[in-house]
Each structure stands twice: as C-alpha cells, then as structure tokens.
Chains A and B, each alone.
Chain A
Amino acid sequence: MQSALTQFSFNRQDFNLILPQLELTLFGLGILLIDFFVEARVKYLNAVLAVMGTLFSGYTLWMLRAHLQIQAEVDPQRPDLLGFHDTLLVDSFFLYFAAIFLAATALVVLLSVRYLEIEDEHHGEYYALILFACVGMMFMASGIDLVVLFLGLETMALSFYALTGFLRRDKRSNEAALKYVLLGAFSSGILAYGFSLLYGMSGSTNIGQIGQMLGRRAMISQMGGLTDWFTIVAFVTVAAGLFFKIAAVPFHQWAPDVYEGAPTPVTAYVSVASKTASFALLLRLFIAVFGATHHSWMYIVAGVAVASLTWGNFAAITQTNVKRLLAYSSIAHVGFILLGLVGGNNTGFQGIAYYLFVYVFMTIGAFAVVIVLRRKGLIGDELEDLNGLYQRSPAAALLLLIFMLSLAGIPPTAGFMGKYYILQSLIETHHPVLAVLAALYIVPALYYYFRIVVHAWMKQPGDAPLPEISAAQTVALTVTVFVSLAAGVYPEPFAQLARYAFAIGR
C-alpha cells in the first residue's frame, strides 16, 4: 500500500511544468467569483483580469524557457522536461504553441469587450470560458499521453460549444452551437475510438511507446507500413477525428455554419486557436505515433489537402457573408498547412509552425475589422456592410487591405512567407505537381479576397454610421497588423522561432 501511494504521488517539480495552465485556471475561477460583485457598468474589469491572466501565464512560460535552457546544458541528450509519470512534456514545441495560444487569447479578449456590450450579454462566464479553452489547448500541446491529450481536447471543445451559443437570445447563435456540439462530440467519439485501438495495439497510452510498437509492426509486415487492418482502422479513425477538428474536407461542413452563427470574437477564436491547437495535437500524434509509416499515409493527407484547397477556394468565391467567406478561406488554409505535413522534412515543419503563427495574427486581424463594424442593429458581417469603408474610415479600410493581402499570400506580407516555406518543402521532397497546384490556387484566393477589398474601397457608402474603434480594439488591431507586416518584410526572427519549435538545428 505504502509503495503504491508513493508511486502515484507527484513531486513539486511536476507542478512547475503546468504552472502556466494553473495560473490561467485560477484567473478563470477568480473571474467567476468576482463577477458576482462587479456592477453591470464596469463588467470590463473581467476582461482586464483575463488579460492579466494571459500576461502572468506568458511570464511563467518565459521562466519555463529558462528552465529548459538549463536542462539542455545539463543534459544535451534529453533537453526536455518530463513530468507526471511521463504523461506531460515541456519542450520547445509546447513553448512555441502555448505562446501562440496566449497571444490569441489576449487578442480575442481585447476584441470582445465592446462587442459584448453591444450585444448586451456582458457576463463574466464568457472570459472564464475563454481562459479554460486556452488551458485545454495548452494541455493539447504538452501532453504525450492519450488520456491527457484527449482531456485537453475536450476541455477546449466544451468551452467552445458554450461560447458559440453565448448569445442565447439569438437564433443563429443557438443553431451554430447545436451544430457544433453535435458534430464536435461525434468527432471526439471517433477520435476516442481510434485512441482505444492504439492502446489495444501497444498496451500503453504513452504516444512514444505506441509509436515504437507501430514502427515494429511496420518492420515485420512485408509491404512495410499500414498493412494490417487493425492499424488501418486506428489510423483512419484518429485521422478522421482530427480532420474534423481542423475542418479539412470532407469533414468541414460544420465550419461555415459555426463561423457565421457564433459571436464574431468567438469566431475568430475558434478559427485560429482551436485550429492551431488541433494542429499541435495532430503534429504530435502523426510524428510520434505514425512517424515510421509516413510514406504510406502521405498520399491520404495529400488527397485531403488538395480536396480542402479545391473546395475551400471555390466555395468561398460565391459567398456574400464575410464570416462565411473567411470560413471557406480557412478551409483552404488548412489544405495548405497539411501540404507541409506531406513534405514532412524540416523545411515543411518549419513552414507549418510559421504558417500557423502568421495565420493566427492575420485572421484575428481580419475578424477584428468585422467586429469593429458591429453596431446596434447592424451585424456588419455581410459584404454590403463593408461598402465605402474607405470613405467612412480610411484606417480600417487600409488595415483590411493589409490583412486580405496577407491572407492571399502576396509579398511583402506575412502570408507569403508561410506559403513560401511550404512550397519549398514540397519541392525539396520531390512533389512538384502538388507545389504547382498549391501555387495556382492563389489565383481564386486572390479573386475572393479582392471582392472584399473592392466592396471596402470602390463601392459607394450607404447610410451606415462611422465605425467607432475602442482603445482595446486599437491595441489588438495594431498588434495583428504589425505581425502581418513584420513577419513578411523581415521574416528571419520569426523563422528562427519556427525552427526553435521543432528544435531544428539545435
């Protein structure tokens, strides 16, 4: 009994590894408590607390980085910090993605305050749920055990279901939340079934050990790769569950509806943070578990990527709602990012990390412009609502132009460099056809992004009022536009960060 107890106890060092997540949780609970005592007039205090939470957590993350450097000097063979009986791993990959999640969380909170005041739904739970979603995402990036990964995913997903339906008097928000919860829970179930099969094959929930076992299976089987049906079913269910979460074709149907119906700051959060976190989970699993069989699933991923690019780009052309249009364009972006996984060399992984980083900032920026247009009695997410934005607010129109150029991937903006690294990886790994195809899809993308720009710059303004930009929104817009331009004009420091994420050249 005594030995069993010591075996399952954790030491204090372990808790240092989840300190960023713990702090966010505490701030979230604090918001829930304080919300009782805050008057309706000063509800923005909740948002201040949420931003402080992300700052504290970010600072702790910075301290963890110092820890990691010391560990790398002490033992260069094992430069990572393991904890909680090898279920949690703090490495450069986690630090990179956690920093992205925190940045996205802070930006979304800054954009939310004005929006919720207009909607008249300014409750503390909103900010608490946003922080809890971020906690889930950080566990998705740091877990190396199926249980931790699954629970992280569900913490994030459950928070998002509630956030999507947060405008409970709005029928569109209700419907989006219902569709999201049904399809999200369905995909989680499929993913969990895949996890149970992985456990069945290896007798372990540790993804490193599962990967070794699958590698051995691949060696034994004559054809080399996914030849026994057990492995195939496990791969297909895990991949289907994950493709649902990142909204890749043919599992993308929920994305446009959820994006359109959700409150716009939540749309921004779902489209960037949930997608980035699911990619972090997908990369961990595909590299650690299915890494040995890359050549056999490469073509499946390539097929999904090309299908996403095709469907996303062509469906976006006919959209008249900006949020729906951005949903289809995000499906196309997912296709592009998956192509980096098809390449699967260091350039490809660096490209994925870089692309996700800039995608977060430019997409939040694009949604921020839509949020700024939201007024009482005017939703502001139809293309017509953008008409004559240049006359009404030249600054907002200019920002919109920069974000659209970046999303389309035109130099000298950040989006171009992301696409460049992934195309380079495809050429290095001898997939010239895929590279040409991916490059050609920039043409339809240019068309629909410029439809938005044309509405903002060329059309005559209606009688819509001038957009008012609050101080918090100014900060968010400044940060996003700075990154969207800086990462394109001078990409080297950002590329270094991306290399650091996958510990390339360390």
Chain B
Amino acid sequence: MLSVNHYLFLSLALFTIGVIGVLTRRNVIVILMSIELILNAVNINLVAFSRLFGDVAGQVFAIFIVTDAAAEAAVGLGIIIAFFRNRETVLADEMDLLKW
C-alpha cells in the first residue's frame, strides 16, 4: 500500500534531479526541462497532499501550476529562439556578453 511518504520521496527525488540539472547542464533547453521537473515535483506533492486531506484546493493549485509551466515554457522558448537567431548557440557558457 502506498502511503503519502512514498509520494513525498518521489517528489523530493524529482526536485533534487531538477535542481542538479539546472546547476550543472550547459544547454539552456535542458535547463528549461529541469525546471519543468521541479514544477512536476511540486504537482506530485500537491496532489498527494490533496488526496491525504480529501481537500480539493491542492488539485486546483496543481492545475494552475501546469498552466504556469506552459506559459513559462512558451516565453522561455521564445526568448531562446530570439537568442539563437542572434548568436547561433544555446550553450549557457557562451552567454558571455554580460559578465556572468
């Protein structure tokens, strides 16, 4: 039988993978994907707690986070395309016009 703790550990694992991905990857698209992982960890937490409490607010929050993740991906990819057009690269360590 799965308890809420199992979900919490899964979400913690996802969160950690996401944070490590953001901090170590060079490709900005992979960084964006790692951020999506973090948001999915949040969603698992919210839905697990929502089920635990029998309270619908957590699921509503999760839906809003999904929406927000979509908006963020749209804006983020748009900016990446604008960047790529001018610089022909998507590697984080080649973003060096401004001192990092």
CB of B72 within 8 A of CB of A165, answer no
Which of these binds chain B: A167-175, A330-338, A386-394, A465-473?
A167-175
Chain B residues bordering chain A, tally (CB within 8 A):
45
Q: Compute how far the CA of A162 lies from the CA of B81 in the bound complex, rounded to whole angstroms.
A: 13
CB of A199 within 8 A of CB of B86, answer no
* The residue from B45, B53, B65 contacting A203, defined by CB atoms under 8 A apart: B53
CB of A199 within 8 A of CB of B87, answer no
CB of B35 within 8 A of CB of A185, answer yes
CB of A186 within 8 A of CB of B99, answer no
Q: Give chain A nearest CB distance to B37 CB in angstroms.
A: 9
A171-B86, A174-B86, A185-B35 known; A204-B57 Cβ under 8 A: yes
Contacts of A169 in B (CB 8 A): 86
Contacts of B58 in A (CB 8 A): 196, 199, 205
Q: Compute how far the CA of A188 lies from the CA of B49 in the bound complex, rounded to whole angstroms.
A: 20
Decide if A418 is an interface residue (CB 8 Å cutoff).
Answer: no
CB of A203 within 8 A of CB of B49, answer yes
Chain B 44-61, CB-CB to A under 8 Å as 1, else 0, gives: 011011001101011011
Q: Give chain B nearest CB distance to A180 CB in angstroms.
A: 8
CB of A192 within 8 A of CB of B65, answer yes
CB of A257 within 8 A of CB of B28, answer no
* The residue from B39, B64, B78, B97 contacting A175, defined by CB atoms under 8 A apart: B97
A161-B75, A172-B98 known; A193-B53 Cβ under 8 A: no
Chain A residues bordering chain B, tally (CB within 8 A):
41
Contacts of A298 in B (CB 8 A): none
CB of B39 within 8 A of CB of A192, answer yes
Q: Which residue of B lies closest to A87 (CB)?
A: B57
Q: Compute how far the CA of A304 lies from the CA of B60 in the bound complex, rounded to whole angstroms.
A: 34
CB of B38 within 8 A of CB of A193, answer yes
Decide if B80 is an interface residue (CB 8 Å cutoff).
Answer: yes
Q: Compute how far the CA of A287 lies from the CA of B99 in the bound complex, rounded to whole angstroms.
A: 36
Decide if A189 is an interface residue (CB 8 Å cutoff).
Answer: yes
Q: Give chain B nearest CB distance to A230 CB in angstroms.
A: 9
5 pairs of residues in contact across A and B, judged by CB atoms under 8 Å? A162-B75, A181-B75, A196-B46, A199-B46, A257-B98
Given contacts A161-B75, A193-B15, A205-B58, 13 further A-B contacts (CB under 8 A): A161-B79, A171-B87, A171-B97, A172-B98, A175-B97, A175-B98, A182-B31, A186-B35, A186-B38, A189-B18, A190-B19, A199-B46, A257-B98
Q: Which residues of A contact B (CB under 8 A)?
A: 146-147, 150-151, 154, 158, 161-162, 165, 168-169, 171-172, 174-179, 181-182, 185-186, 188-190, 192-193, 195-197, 199-200, 203-205, 253, 256-257, 260-261
